[in-house]
Structure 1
Amino acid sequence: MRLVPVLTAILVTAVLYLSVFQRDRLLGFARGAEVGAEAAEAAATEAPATEPDGSTESEGAGAVGVVVVRSQARTIDSAVLLRGETRAVRQVQVRAETTGAVISEPLRKGAFVEPGDVLCKLDPGTREASLAQARAALAEARTRVPEAEARLQEAKAMLEEAQINYNAASKLNAGGYTAETTLLARAAGVRGAEAAIASAEAGVEASRSGIEAAQATVAAAEREISRLTITAPFEGLLESDAAELGSLMQPGSLCAEVIQLDPIKVVGYVPETQVARVALGAMAQARLATGEEVVGKVTFLSRSADPTTRTFEVEITVPNPDLTIRDGQTASIGISADGALAHRVPQSALTLNNEGTLGVRVVLPGDVVGFQPVELLRDTVDGVWLGGLPEQADIIVVGQDFVTAGVQVAPSYREVTQ
């Protein structure tokens, strides 16, 4: 009665061991049986296939049948492919720096402007009068300087005279010919003259400071008047209408938006895995959503990655003399890079190993399966171009999902489709 539960436990333990610890061998055995059955059925109706080394499928009895492509690496132009958009080389919103009503007729969007063309002209108001008053104050301040300098020279002459009188009184006092009070009076005269000089010098400095203050007032008034005329900073097109006649402008109010499209930039973002393949000055081609293809050079490559996407901004400058390329168009970008050896295989040949590494399964000497990690260089309608393989590789293209590394196979070779 107790023998049945024991046998059941042993059977369950064996099944669990095979399904957990011997999963790969179990799957290989099961898949090998299926493929072997198909191969046996095909062998009943077809003659044995002859291999490049003279062997036949019958010699690989018991091995898993797979289809293999003997691929030879070729050099391809491994351009860096990106998605991006066109961007104006310059774009600025021209704004007012002072207050005033617009007194000029507005330019309409789409108009072409040159540097210095008037976009908005504001009412001067009383600014001209303020400038005239500042200039008058400057002229008056300039006349005060000669007067102050004349007073300084007069004070210096008085000091010399007081010094002479003091010296004479000092000698007479030493000989007993003059009173002590006279000597003290002459000394006080010297000190008074020195104070007069200090006052005159202060007057000169004040006059000169007055000139500088008046000059600053004049410059501020002239600067305020210059702000009344808002001009185009560079050559370009108006992306918006200029401010309407009679509208009141405040500091920061928008006058017009100017955009420069010649040349134009095509901006994309390079993954950090490919940024080392992009160099300044490299030729690049962009295909716009309209189908138009343009050619330019890489003029900027960011040194700092975007913190969110971990990509690096790259700019390609493209001539646009006829202004047919617009700002914000979607573009497919290809940046030329050094060529690389690659194999073209069907996309279905790609597989993953147990660690999740992308690669292909290859046939090694002795018809044993091996796994080779690869790098996906380009994806086309005819297949994928892979790097990381030797120059010649026997790649399994049919049956690779039914075998694992180390499994014996019976390969059937076919030619590479060019």
Structure 2
Amino acid sequence: MRLIPIITACLVAALLYAIVIERERLMAFVQSSSPAMSNPDAPAPENDADVTIVATPKATTKPHDGAVAVMARRSVARETDSAVILRGETQALRQVDVLAESSGKVNSPPLRKGAFVDEGDLLCQLDPGTSVISLAEANSRLAEARARIPETKARVPEAEARVEEAKAQLEEAQINANAASKLSQGGFASDTRVANTQAAVRSAEAGVRGAEAGLTAARAGMEGVDAAIQSAEAAVARAQTEIDNLKIHAPFSGLLETDSAELGALLQGGGGGGGAALCATIIQLDPVKLVGFVPEMSVSRVEVGAGARARLIEGGSVEGRVTFLSRSADAVTRTFRVEITVPNPDLAVRAGQTAEIAIAAEGALAHLLPQSALTLDDSGVLGVRTIAADGTALFVPINVLRDTSDGIFVTGLPDTADVIILGQEYVTDGIPVAPSFEEVIQ
């Protein structure tokens, strides 16, 4: 059996009980048993270096009978930096997989990963194959279509003239028919003449319709030439685009994260049924992004444009400004994405490094207290026990501002407050206390 830990725990519990609960009796016992304390007239020790001066804790008010002994601290609020602390990681400002848009074999030497490229630098060049021939053929068809324009345009005026001629013939036939009809009514023309003039009118009407049809055909021919020209121009544009896509350039300045495609490799363009082949992956690290997630309780204290500092996990620190704060929370973690842009001219910061981020926020008056001083009331509200002016315990709700290695910064207390830091769990509101104050330099 492990008796030693059990005995040690019992002794520690008894010692704490004697110090906290039976403090006055313990001090009286020590004074009565110490010769120096029991005899105030005893001479002082000769060696001053061996003497440690300890300030005797004093209570602010005279304790009531039956008061509970507690340890307290007189805390004074001070201006503190209420920075929002979170953990995050570095990310490249931009990262792009540069894909081939045309199919062909690579006929340019590869660039190795880690190389720096400027915007517009050649990454991969493909063999042209029949692309040049296709462009020449498309240009020939375009020239042929444009050559048909004069001939087609000339047909339109000719067709319009025929329409006018047919209309004139129709008008003449109608006049002859009217004259024959009136002469026939007076007995001066035969029925045969009237029939001939009416036939001439119908023939003239047919001529007008035929001329109008010819005009429509001439105009349709012109529209067909325009369509042929547009089709030929589209074929030229496609052929030229195919040739332009044979050279794959860097979309922005950055570092190659992968080797570019090897000489002789066959790249499949994205226009086919399969996926496009990768030429290279390029990332931009100047500037670099710091990405973190702010909890709901702190998101209102973060603003776009606020300064921020980050300490990298392997050492070193960087500074930047908040450039993005999400307006919608993550559905799972209920946190908000925040991005900080940091200058990185020497590319010392890499993508994917863990960082502790501190985002500047408006300062506030806060008390620095040990975490052990915090307690909960019957409703589950977080707060601390303080000593009221009448010497009784009083619960005060607080808000946690920031947690540090030295303690926790809280708000909600008056500028000066006597906070119970030991024994607060043994008292409730209105219970008299006999405090012993801890000397603290703030």
TM-score w.r.t. structure 1 length? 0.87
Question: Do structure 1's residue 407 and structure 2's residue 420 form an aligned pair?
Answer: no
User: Partners in 2 of 1:400 and 1:268 — Cα distance?
Assistant: 37
Alignment-derived partner of residue 357 in structure 1: 381
Relative to 1, partners in 2 of residues 1:284 and 1:262: Cα closer, same or farther, differing over 3 Å? same
User: Partners in 2 of 1:369 and 1:32 — Cα distance?
Assistant: 20
Alignment-derived partner of residue 27 in structure 1: none
* Deviation of the 1:168 alpha carbon: 2.1
Alignment-derived partner of residue 19 in structure 1: none
* Deviation of the 1:403 alpha carbon: 2.1
2:22 to 29, 37, 41: 37
Cα deviations across residues 137-189 of structure 1 (Å, max 9, x unaligned)? 11111112221111121111111222222222322333239632233222222
Alignment-derived partner of residue 360 in structure 2: 336
Alignment of 1:98-117 (within 5 A): 98-117=102-121
Is the contact made by 2:59 and 2:436 (CA closer than 8 Å) also made in structure 1? no
Cα deviations across residues 321-357 of structure 1 (Å, max 9, x unaligned)? 1111111111111111111111112222222333333
2:311 to 272, 287, 296: 287
Cα deviations across residues 362-400 of structure 1 (Å, max 9, x unaligned)? 111221112222222222232222112111111011222
2:171 to 157, 164, 167: 167
Is the contact made by 1:286 and 1:293 (CA closer than 8 Å) also made in structure 2? yes
Amino acid at match of 2:123: L
Corresponding residue SS for 2:148: helix
Question: Do structure 1's residue 129 and structure 2's residue 126 form an aligned pair?
Answer: no
Relative to 1, partners in 2 of residues 1:34 and 1:299: Cα closer, same or farther, differing over 3 Å? closer
Is the contact made by 2:57 and 2:438 (CA closer than 8 Å) also made in structure 1? no
Alignment-derived partner of residue 296 in structure 1: 320
Amino acid at match of 2:294: V
- Of 379-388 and 149-158, deviating more is 379-388
Cα deviations across residues 388-416 of structure 1 (Å, max 9, x unaligned)? 21111110112222223332211122322
Question: Do structure 1's residue 277 and structure 2's residue 326 form an aligned pair?
Answer: no
- Of 340-349 and 275-284, deviating more is 340-349
1:92 to 91, 96, 102: 96
User: Partners in 2 of 1:291 and 1:236 — Cα distance?
Assistant: 25
Corresponding residue SS for 1:273: helix
Is the contact made by 1:278 and 1:337 (CA closer than 8 Å) also made in structure 2? yes
* Deviation of the 1:114 alpha carbon: 1.1
Corresponding residue SS for 1:85: strand
* Deviation of the 1:112 alpha carbon: 1.0
- Of 110-119 and 345-354, deviating more is 345-354
Alignment-derived partner of residue 201 in structure 1: 219
* Deviation of the 1:54 alpha carbon: 6.8
Is the contact made by 1:375 and 1:388 (CA closer than 8 Å) also made in structure 2? yes
RMSD (CA atoms):
2.1
Cα deviations across residues 26-48 of structure 1 (Å, max 9, x unaligned)? xxxxx99995434323233348x
User: Partners in 2 of 1:63 and 1:343 — Cα distance?
Assistant: 26
* Deviation of the 1:226 alpha carbon: 1.4
How many residues align? The count is 384
- Of 185-194 and 256-265, deviating more is 185-194
Corresponding residue SS for 1:161: helix
Alignment-derived partner of residue 291 in structure 2: 267
Is the contact made by 1:36 and 1:63 (CA closer than 8 Å) also made in structure 2? no
* Deviation of the 1:50 alpha carbon: 7.3
User: Partners in 2 of 1:158 and 1:168 — Cα distance?
Assistant: 15
Corresponding residue SS for 2:436: strand
Relative to 1, partners in 2 of residues 1:66 and 1:54: Cα closer, same or farther, differing over 3 Å? closer
Is the contact made by 1:32 and 1:64 (CA closer than 8 Å) also made in structure 2? no
Is the contact made by 1:63 and 1:408 (CA closer than 8 Å) also made in structure 2? yes
TM-score w.r.t. structure 2 length? 0.82
The unaligned stretches of length 5 or more in structure 2 are: 1-15, 32-36, 38-55, 181-188, 271-275
Is the contact made by 2:59 and 2:434 (CA closer than 8 Å) also made in structure 1? no
Alignment of 1:99-248 (within 5 A): 99-176=103-180, 179-180=196-197, 181-248=199-266
Alignment-derived partner of residue 12 in structure 1: none
Question: Do structure 1's residue 348 and structure 2's residue 372 form an aligned pair?
Answer: yes
- Of 356-365 and 128-137, deviating more is 356-365
* Deviation of the 1:110 alpha carbon: 0.9
User: Partners in 1 of 2:399 and 2:69 — Cα distance?
Assistant: 27
Corresponding residue SS for 1:286: strand
User: Partners in 2 of 1:171 and 1:384 — Cα distance?
Assistant: 114
Corresponding residue SS for 1:274: helix
User: Partners in 1 of 2:28 and 2:82 — Cα distance?
Assistant: 43
Cα deviations across residues 190-225 of structure 1 (Å, max 9, x unaligned)? 221111111111111111111111111111111122
- Of 132-141 and 367-376, deviating more is 367-376
Task: Give 1 or 2 for the bigger CA radius of gyration.
Answer: 2
Amino acid at match of 2:171: N
Relative to 1, partners in 2 of residues 1:196 and 1:393: Cα closer, same or farther, differing over 3 Å? same
Is the contact made by 2:110 and 2:260 (CA closer than 8 Å) also made in structure 1? yes
Is the contact made by 1:134 and 1:221 (CA closer than 8 Å) also made in structure 2? yes
Relative to 1, partners in 2 of residues 1:34 and 1:288: Cα closer, same or farther, differing over 3 Å? closer
Is the contact made by 2:59 and 2:435 (CA closer than 8 Å) also made in structure 1? no
Percent same amino acid among aligned pairs?
53
Amino acid at match of 1:130: S
Corresponding residue SS for 2:315: coil
Cα deviations across residues 276-322 of structure 1 (Å, max 9, x unaligned)? 11111111111112321111111111111111111111111111111
1:258 to 272, 276, 282: 282
Relative to 1, partners in 2 of residues 1:380 and 1:169: Cα closer, same or farther, differing over 3 Å? closer
Is the contact made by 2:110 and 2:261 (CA closer than 8 Å) also made in structure 1? yes
Is the contact made by 2:257 and 2:283 (CA closer than 8 Å) also made in structure 1? yes
